[in-house]
Chains A and B, each alone.
Chain A
C-alpha cells in the first residue's frame, strides 16, 4: 500500500528549453535540459544559431582578406584570433616576423587576455547572483583597455591589427607611456577586487565544489585553457610550444587542483596578474626596427598544409590551413576553443540544480561566435 508520502516523492522528469535568447547563455546557445524538479538529469546542447559559415567564406578570400573574418570568431578577444591565424599563415608560407613586430604582438595578445578575463569573470559573477556591480567594475577596466586598442588601431572591439608578417601599423608614440601608466593601476584594481571576493561567502557557497571537472575527463574531452588548468592539467602553449617570443619572458602558469567553478575564477584572476607581468617585461624590451616583414598584400604560399596554434584567452586556438598555391586558402579549419570546451559541460552539470547549471556554464567562458563559427 502506498502512503501519501511515497506518492509525493514520485516525480516525473520534464524537458525545459533554455535559449537561444536567454540572458545568461552568453549569446545564442540553446540547450534542452531534462529536469527532475530542480535537479538537472541531462542536457542536450544545440548549436548553429550563429553559424555564419566562416570556413566557407575563407575559401573565397585572399589570405590577408581572411583576417577580418577571424576577428568575428571570438569577438570578446579579437586580437588573439588575428594572432592565431597569422601564426598559421606564417608557418605555411615560412615568413619570419621582425623582432619589434613580435614584441608588439605579445603585448597586444596579453592585453586582450586581460580584457577577455575581465569579461569572463564579470559574467560568471553576474550568473552567480552578483548582478551588475562586479561586472560593471570589470567592464570599466575593459573600457580602459579598449581606449588603448583604439589608440593602436582605431577600433575598439574588432581590431584587425595583426597582419601576416607583423602588425598593420607601428605603435604610436603615446602608446607605451599610456600602457606603462595603466599596468600598475590595473594591478592595484585586481588586488582590490580579489580582496572583496576571495573570502566572499556567497561566491564560495555558489562556486566552491560546484561543477567539478576531473582531470582525466578534461584531458579526454580535449579541454584546454584556464578550464583545464583549474582541473590540474599544467599545459600552456606559451610554455609548452612557444610561438612568437614567449620563450623570452618569465611567467608562471597558475593551476588549481579541485577543478570547480571557484578554481576557474581563481585561475583567471591569477592569469591576469601574470599577463600584467609579461606586459611589464615586454614594455622594457621593445626593440626598434621594422614592425612588419616585407610581405605582399596577396601571397601565394607553397602547396602544403600547416597547423598554427596559440594559447588564446580561452585555450588552444588553432587554424589548420591547406594551400594549393593559389591566393586563397584551399581549406581552413578552425579549432575553436569554446566549441571543444563545451564538450564537458554535460558531465559537469549532471546532478546539480538548475541554478548551478547557470554558474557552471558561466565559468566555462564561451563565445558563441567561436562555437558556431
Chain B
C-alpha cells in the first residue's frame, strides 16, 4: 500500500535541512515557498530514506486569490508518496521555478500547466504552448476565462 508520508515526518526532515522553506503543513500535503521548491525537491529525490524518484503529476488550481501548483511524488523503493504545494499570489504573469531539470517527466506537464493555466515555469528549457495553438486568447482553465 502506498502510504502518504505524513506531513509531520516531512516537516521534521525538511526543517532540519531548509529552516524557512516550509510555509504550512496540512494533513497530507506540505506547502513550500516557491523559491526553495527546486532545492526541496532535489533533497526529496536524493536523500537517503526518502528517494522520491517518480513524479506522479503536476497540476495547478485557480483559487481566484492565488494559484496553487501541486506536485505528487512517489518513492518506488519505499512505496511512499508525498504531495508538495506551492503558491503564486499574482494573477498577472505568475511564475514558479521549473522542476524539468530534476524530473524529466515534469517537462511536458509543466508546459501543459502553462498552456491551460498560464503559470510560467522559470528555467524550463522549452516554455511554449502544448495543446492550443500560439495566439490562442488567454488560458482556458482559469476560472475567470470566458469564451
A residues whose Cβ falls under 8 Å from a Cβ of B? 47-48, 51, 53, 55-56, 217, 219-223, 233, 235, 237, 240-242, 307, 309, 316, 318, 320, 322, 330-331, 333, 335, 339-340, 342-344, 372-373
Contact = CB atoms under 8 A, between A and B. Distances in A.
A222 B1 contact: no
Pairs of residues from A and B, 9 with the lowest C-beta to C-beta distance, nearest first: A222-B105, A241-B2, A333-B59, A48-B131, A335-B57, A51-B131, A221-B105, A220-B104, A331-B61
B104 A221 contact: yes
Interface in B91-144: 103-105, 107-109, 112, 116, 129-133, 140-141
Contacts of A48: 129-133
Nearest to B145: A56
A222 B103 contact: yes
Interface residues of B, number: 30
A219 B76 contact: yes
Contacts of B17: none
A340 B108 contact: yes
Given A47-B130, A235-B76, A320-B70, A343 B107 contact: yes
B56 interface: yes
A330 B141 CA distance: 11
Given A47-B131, A242-B1, A343-B105, A220 B56 contact: no
A234 to B, nearest CB: 9
Contacts of B53: 219-220
Given A307-B72, A340-B108, A56 B140 contact: yes
A343 B108 contact: yes
A104 B125 CA distance: 46
Nearest to B140: A56
B46 interface: no
B56 A318 contact: yes
Contacts of B40: none
B43 interface: no
Given A217-B104, A343-B108, A233 B76 contact: yes
Contacts of B76: 219, 233, 235
A305 to B, nearest CB: 8
Contacts of A318: 56-57
25 contacts: A47-B130, A47-B131, A48-B133, A51-B132, A55-B116, A220-B105, A222-B55, A222-B56, A223-B105, A235-B54, A240-B79, A241-B2, A241-B79, A318-B57, A320-B57, A320-B59, A331-B62, A331-B141, A339-B109, A339-B112, A342-B108, A343-B104, A343-B105, A343-B107, A344-B104
Contact of B56 (A55, A219, A316, A330): A316
A38 to B, nearest CB: 26
Contacts of B141: 55-56, 331
Nearest to B106: A222
A245 to B, nearest CB: 14
A314 to B, nearest CB: 15
